Amino acid sequence: MGKIDDSRLWERARRVLPGGVSSPVRSFRSVGGEPFFSERGEGPYLYDVDGKRYVDYVLSWGPLILGHGHPAVVEAVERATRTGLTFGTPVKTEVELAELIVDLVPGIEMVRFVSSGTESTMSAIRLARGVTGRERILKFDGCYHGHSDSFLVRAGSGVATLGLPDSPGVPLSLSELTISVPFNDLDCVRSSLDRYPDEIAAVIVEPVMGNFGLIEPMHGFLEGLREVTRATGALLVFDEVMTGFRVALGGAQDLYGVVPDLTTLGKVIGGGLPVAAFGGSRELMEQVAPTGPVYQAGTLSGNPLGMAAGLAQLRVLARERPYDHLARLTGRLVSGILAAAEERGIPASGAHVGSMWGVFFAEDPVHDYDGAKRTDTEFFASYFRECLERGVFFAPSPFEAGFTSTVHGPEQLEYTLMAVGEAMDAARVG
């Protein structure tokens, strides 16, 4: 068989990978066009295989808070590769990373490492079910907790982006155990807890919703969740895969001062390698095997490369505490985009929590799933393509949060806002 031309990578990809991708949100399905193939990342930029440069606001969907190729992270990984890729035994860096996490995250006294956010939420829920002896879980419309069976009910991220109903393949008997209610609606939470007394094992929430655009918790919502879960014996689980070490060094629980029973972590914790974790009080975590009966395991969990990358990244964050700078910069980005929209009479609203941000093209401010569903997704799609054309890479979906990094600065901001203005003009005409 002859060699297939490299310039047709997308054709080749679609022949051998479903939809041409290894994860649906990368496919550009809802925005049109073909995804680019990245060749390298450098600081705030991504370069594709044709050498085109993009200011990157996706940042691998969140992990790269220090930008691409931060020297401390790269050196730590290089050093780790020289002594072995994986051992299947405990390693020192695993203990050091766990100690640092326990130090930084208010609700964590013990932690179990896993390899993906999906694994972390799936395991946290098993633990919640195991210790409470209850089977139902309560989640929020538009929150996305990975793709395990229990969570694909009115989920955000790729499920919402592709407009899929809840996924085939999830046994009804399992999805029936998942209750999904509107984000920011405490009354609905209370009535579900009343309706199923002693049946709900856990209430799981993204404390800042980042998988349906960015939606902030309304004042008192997280505090209310803490109160009602405590009163009814359900565990409160904060899915901090996106917010952990991102919105503040101690995550959203530190920022809002609400401590959950269990926390799931991913993305920033691995510095760009596949690392995730779940943690909580010693009492709860000692119920996990081998100290307790709740089984959970993983061949590559706590592997030396991931641990080295995560430790290096978290050490930089703990030392430099760049959160004020990140929040200021991100605030300027969001207000710049909103100002550009206003100048052109394009209805838009937006928000940021630290360096996590989102803009909706809609008449009214968005507080939940139904509000996000009413936004102008068609305008978003052409705006996205026009931005990309100009070398600005936003998430290819109106239902994903954006991110900035410590190496994004005034130069990238100025360029982005210029491109955004042009893109809005072009998208309106188109």
Which positions are catalytic?
144, 239, 267
Measured distance CA(423)–CA(340) in Å, rounded: 10
- Phi, psi for 248 (deg, rounded to 5): -165, 165
Using the structure block, give the residue that is written with the tokens 């565990």.
235
Asked if residue 81 binds ligand HOZ (CB under 6 A), the reply is no
- Phi, psi for 376 (deg, rounded to 5): -85, 90
Task: Give min distance, CB of 400 to ligand HOZ, in A.
Answer: 5
Alpha helices in 213-272 (DSSP H): 221-232, 251-256
Residue in 333, 400, 404, 420 binding ligand HOZ, rule: CB under 6 A:
400
Asked if residue 191 binds ligand HOZ (CB under 6 A), the reply is no
Residue in 121, 180, 211, 416 binding ligand HOZ, rule: CB under 6 A:
211
Per 3-state DSSP, the chain is made up of helix, strand and coil in percentages (nearest 5) of 45, 15, 40
Q: Which long-range contacts (CB under 8 A, 24 or more apart) does 4-12 make?
A: 6/49, 9/37, 9/49, 10/34, 10/35, 10/37
Q: Is 341 exposed, middle or buried (0-12, 13-18, 19+ CB in 10 A)?
A: buried
Asked if residue 206 binds ligand HOZ (CB under 6 A), the reply is no
Whichever of 72 and 170 has its CB closer to ligand HOZ, that residue is 170
Task: Give min distance, CB of 143 to ligand HOZ, in A.
Answer: 11
Residue 423 CB contacts under 8 Å (≥ 6 apart), including other chains? 383, 386, 387, 389, 390, 392
- Phi, psi for 44 (deg, rounded to 5): -85, 5
Residue in 27, 115, 150, 157 binding ligand HOZ, rule: CB under 6 A:
157
Decide: helix, strand or coil at residue 142.
coil
- Cβ–Cβ under 8 Å, residues 201 and 128: yes
Whichever of 61 and 245 has its CB closer to ligand HOZ, that residue is 61
Whichever of 43 and 62 has its CB closer to ligand HOZ, that residue is 62
Asked if residue 164 binds ligand HOZ (CB under 6 A), the reply is no
- Cβ–Cβ under 8 Å, residues 127 and 278: yes
Task: Give min distance, CB of 401 to ligand HOZ, in A.
Answer: 8
Whichever of 91 and 208 has its CB closer to ligand HOZ, that residue is 208
Tokens (6 digits) for 336: 């710049």
Task: Give min distance, CB of 112 to ligand HOZ, in A.
Answer: 20
Asked if residue 61 binds ligand HOZ (CB under 6 A), the reply is yes
Q: How many CB atoms are closer than 10 A to CB 11?
A: 12
Binding mask 124-153 for ligand HOZ (x = CB under 6 A): --------------------x---------
- Cβ–Cβ under 8 Å, residues 72 and 227: no
Whichever of 158 and 279 has its CB closer to ligand HOZ, that residue is 158
Decide: helix, strand or coil at residue 200.
strand
Measured distance CA(167)–CA(149) in Å, rounded: 9
Task: Give min distance, CB of 276 to ligand HOZ, in A.
Answer: 11
Please give the residues from 317 up to 346 whose contact with ligand HOZ meets the rule CB under 6 A: none
Please give the residues from 273 up to 302 whose contact with ligand HOZ meets the rule CB under 6 A: none
Task: Give min distance, CB of 144 to ligand HOZ, in A.
Answer: 6
Number of residues that bind ligand HOZ (CB under 6 A): 8
Q: Is 16 exposed, middle or buried (0-12, 13-18, 19+ CB in 10 A)?
A: exposed
Whichever of 93 and 264 has its CB closer to ligand HOZ, that residue is 264
- Phi, psi for 428 (deg, rounded to 5): -65, -40
Whichever of 77 and 214 has its CB closer to ligand HOZ, that residue is 214
Minimal CB distance residue for ligand HOZ: 23
Instruction: Of 300, 305, 283, give the one whose Cα is nearest residue 292.
Output: 283
Asked if residue 158 binds ligand HOZ (CB under 6 A), the reply is yes
Residue in 4, 23, 293, 342 binding ligand HOZ, rule: CB under 6 A:
23
Whichever of 23 and 83 has its CB closer to ligand HOZ, that residue is 23
Asked if residue 118 binds ligand HOZ (CB under 6 A), the reply is no
Residues forming the site for ligand HOZ (CB under 6 A): 23, 25, 61, 144, 157-158, 211, 400
